[in-house]
Structure 1
Amino acid sequence: MKKLYYRSLSFFDIMQSKIAFYPTVLALFGIFFAFFMMYLENLGISKYLLEKAPVLVVDNGNTAMTLLSAFISGLISVIVFSFSMVMLLLSQASSNFSPRLLPGLISDKKHQIILGIYLSTILYNIFILFSVQPTGDKYLIPAFSVLVGVIGTVICLYAFIFFIHNISQSIQISNILKMIYSKSKNRLDEVIEQEGTHLAPFPDSDDWYEYQSEKSGYLQNISYTNMINFSKEHDTQLHFIPFKGNFILNGIPLFRSKIELKKEQVDQVLNNISYAREELVEDNYILGFKQLTEIILKSMSPGINDPGTAINAIDYLTELFALRMKKKDVNVIRRDEMPYLKITTVDFKDLLYQVMVAIRTYCKHDVTINQKLLVMLHYLLQQETYNEDYYDNIKQEATLLLADAKEVITNSVDIERLTNLAETFTFQLNEAAEDE
């Protein structure tokens, strides 16, 4: 029973990110609501409405059919246009910014819910249209159901206006950057909050029993609560080896256990690990760093050449790095001060290097970007940190940045300006700070 429950949760988490999830749910709701209205019609709700508010009643079968047919055809046109706008948004975001943005944009619940409202109203009107009896007998006409269809269509029109507004905002790079930053910050705050105070260290797991993955996909989520309960029940500790967000291949080492586990116990651990075929920032804050970095690289490509966007993205990266400096490089999950789980995380040094090496490679010729990066590194040196070694990592990246800039930039004034800027920030640049 637990196995079915865990798999159901994993399946629901994956389905939520699909663009058809909420439209499908709301479409089914529209169908069931139509049958519910037919049931109310059999109880005489239209007759009651005719007696209390006759002005709201459509007592002609041909008129009711004409209205419902017009609503259906009009809403189909609206939904086609809306889907076209979504596809245009995804195409532009992929070509102008980064293909990694697509899963986040597709999983936007606002777009899904609006499309679901369209579908549910269309299906509702279709089923109510079937129940109309154009005999001229007003009691055989589902007057109240037709009124609900009119109200639903009006709601769809207002939803369409909101959709146009929201889609025009979603395509703006400033809003995309803000969305990535907000999701990454929220996730990073959650991870830092879960760490708590550092207590007893997690033991070395090199000689523990190792178990392999039985499927492929991005390591999306691990049920920490269930894994702690499992560890307490079997008197063991678990070390999950791959980074969260990594693509796991079938058969590679996935986790280690302090004690040897039986086959059913291994299956229980594997059932608490969820995989996905796409990456979402809500599940892995590292992806936020990747997306911001790729937006910087894309904006500095010759075809786009938009340094302003790159500078804005660096501002958001600065804030995320400052927050990441408060996090440990080792993620240990505890309960009652006892370490039960160790989750492998990306070190601050590796994260900073991977971001900086990509930007240095493609943007080292641009003086403005180099200046902005030096300002970012100087700001990080002034922030509180969990580990003093982070400061050395930042100074090392400043050294590499200035060294690459000197190799590419030929203008002596620009080189002198960058060097003076670095010296003003009191970076210990060693050879990179020396005059040519």
Structure 2
Amino acid sequence: MVRILAFYRSIKSKIAFYPTLFALSGLLFALLMMYLEKRGMSDYLVEHAPLFVVNSGDTALTILSACITGLISMMVFSFSMVMVLLNQAASDYSPRLLPGLISDYRHQIILGIYISSILYCIFVLFSIQPTGDKYQIPGFSVLLGILATVISIYAFIYFIHNISETIQITNIMEKIFNNASTRLNILLERETSMNWNFPDSHGWTAYSSDKSGYFQDFSGRDLLAFSKKNNTFLEVLPIKGTFVLKGTPVFRSKEKLSEEAVKELLENFHLSRKELVTSNYVLAFKQITEVVVKAMSPGINDPGTALNAIDYLSELIRLRMLKSDESFVSDSGQDYVKMRAVSFEELLYQINAALRKYCCGDIVVVQKLGYMYLALLKQKVLRPSYHDVLEKEAKRLLTDAKVAMTNEADLETLNLLAKKLPLQF
């Protein structure tokens, strides 16, 4: 099951996914209309509703040719706009944002409307056959081709509107935040059913991966069924999003397993060559942090974007403070599978290390980060140690900022900020 879901996620993220589906639907609809035309549909409409039928063969050929030409031009322009969008996002923000932009279903659907309309018009054009001095005209099909072109024009107008909004960094970060917060809320709901009675895994037998890739996900239901079937407990060793080399241990079992059982279990682990926010919320922290770093680089120099990104980052950190560093798969009051996650301390250190490197010279951004830590220290946490981690990282930030700044007014601002946290540095 996990492989089917992984395959679906993989093809859905491709820019050609929806266009391919729409192209097939346009082709099938054209064949259906050709069949209905042979059954005398246009002749029936000529007698009862002549307004909906194109009678002139030359007119039909001219209209369909113009529609096909215009649709191809719009499609080429739209593809060019998508490429410009991806290039700008990679150069101005972060290359990690590209998978999320490519998988935007709205762009794919609009491109699919173009392609399906083009294929439909082409096949209808082929069905216009000369019979003596006249043409055998699929009149109603021609009218539908005109309507498909009109729909494509409106889709093109919506595409221009949507592409102008998608390129805005605020909307990009909003999408990243929504995906990550959705994933975190799902994990938080699962933690409410945990019993925290997993046995000590020291000394268990470890089993290695038979291939390399980013550890994306696994089927918790299948692992639970496997544990109960083999009367054992399992511990998943790699953290989601980490790169697993072939031969690296990926799980431990309380009971020794046969080669067939190990092979069966490894099939439930999804290793991929790319990372997705929908399956690994930690990637969202990386992406938003990279947006802040890129915005503070001398080539971009956009502190306003950095300040907005810090707001999204602070909300994600607040959600993460409600989650444990470990999670389990349980059934009937017993935890059978243990999973690891990036610890809160390690996650916050990785975020703060990048921000300290590139933001300590800007008092406005440092002040924003300081107030972020101040607000987070007042939030509810799962473990009291999370507050200690926040204070530690806040102190490191202000210490590095004090070294980087020489202006007396900036230093006084840092001192006031340290008193509010409160910190001694």
Query: Is residue 2:21 matched to residue 1:25?
Result: yes
The change in CA–CA distance for 1:200 and 1:343 in structure 2 (over 3 A counts) is: closer
**1:14 deviation in Å?**
1.1
Aligned match for 1:182, one of 169, 178, 182: 178
Correspondence 1:124 to 2:87 = no
Residue 136 to residue 310, structure 1, CA distance change in 2 (3 Å)? farther
Q: CA deviation at 1:105?
A: 0.4
Aligned length: 425
C-alpha distance in structure 2 between counterparts of 1:195 and 1:136, whole Å? 76
Instruction: Indicate which of 283, 288, 293 corresponds to 1:287.
Output: 283
CA distance in 2, matches of 1:49, 1:217: 59
Q: Are residues 136 and 118 of structure 1, via their aligned partners in 2, closer, same or farther at CA, if it must alter by over 3 Å?
A: farther
Q: Distance in 2 between matches of 1:248 and 1:128?
A: 52
The CA deviation at 1:273 is: 2.0
CA distance in 2, matches of 1:180, 1:380: 20
Answering whether residue 48 of structure 2 is matched by residue 52 of structure 1, we say yes
Matches within 5 A, 1:97-136: 97-135=93-131
Give the 3 Å change call, closer, same or farther, for CA 56–421 of structure 1 in structure 2: same
Separation (CA, whole Å) in 2 of partners of 1:65 and 1:262: 69
Query: How far is the alpha carbon of 1:236 from its aligned partner?
Result: 1.8
3-state SS, counterpart of residue 134 of structure 1: strand
357, 370, 373: which is aligned to 1:374? 370
CA distance in 2, matches of 1:6, 1:395: 40
Structure 2 residue runs of 5 or longer lacking an equivalent are: none
Q: Please state how far the C-alpha of 1:345 moved relative to its aligned partner.
A: 0.2
- Partners of 1:70 and 1:155 lie apart in 2 by 15
Provide, for residues 219-238 of structure 1, a one-character-per-residue CA deviation record: whole Å limited to 9, x for no partner.
22211122212222222222
Partner of 1:184: helix, strand, or coil? Answer: helix
Take 1:138 and 1:47, find their aligned partners in 2: how far apart are those partners? 15
Alignment equivalent of 1:35, drawn from 27, 31, 35: 31
Residue 108 of structure 1 and its aligned partner are, at CA, apart by 0.6
Matches within 5 A, 1:260-279: 260-279=256-275
CA distance in 2, matches of 1:51, 1:65: 22
Looking at structure 2, the residues matched to 59 and 70 of structure 1 have their Cα atoms a distance apart, in angstroms, of 17
Deviation by residue 1:292-341 (Cα, 9 ceiling, x = unmatched): 00000000000111111101100111111111111011111212221121
CA–CA separation in structure 1 for the residues paired with 2:283 and 2:347: 11
| Cα displacement (A) at 1:10 | 2.7
Moved over 6 A (4+): 136-139
In the TM superposition, 1:165-176 aligns within 5 A as 165-176=161-172
What is the distance in 1 between the residues matched to 2:210 and 2:17?
27
Distance in 2 (CA, whole Å) between partners of 1:181 and 1:136 is 65
Determine the C-alpha separation between the residues in 1 that align with 2:158 and 2:243.
37
Could you tell me how far apart the structure 1 residues matched to 2:269 and 2:97 are?
A: 24
Cα deviation digits, residues 133-160 of structure 1 (max 9, x gap): 1337889321121122111111111111
Tell me the percent identity. Answer: 54
1:363 offset after TM fit, Å? 0.8
The residue aligned with 2:339 is 343
Residue 195 in structure 1 maps to residue 191 in structure 2: yes
Match of 1:409 in 2: 405
Alignment of 1:290-301 (within 5 A): 290-301=286-297
Tell me the amino acid that sits aligned with residue 271 of structure 2: Y
Equivalent residue, structure 2, for 1:424: 420
Gaps of 5+ in 1: none
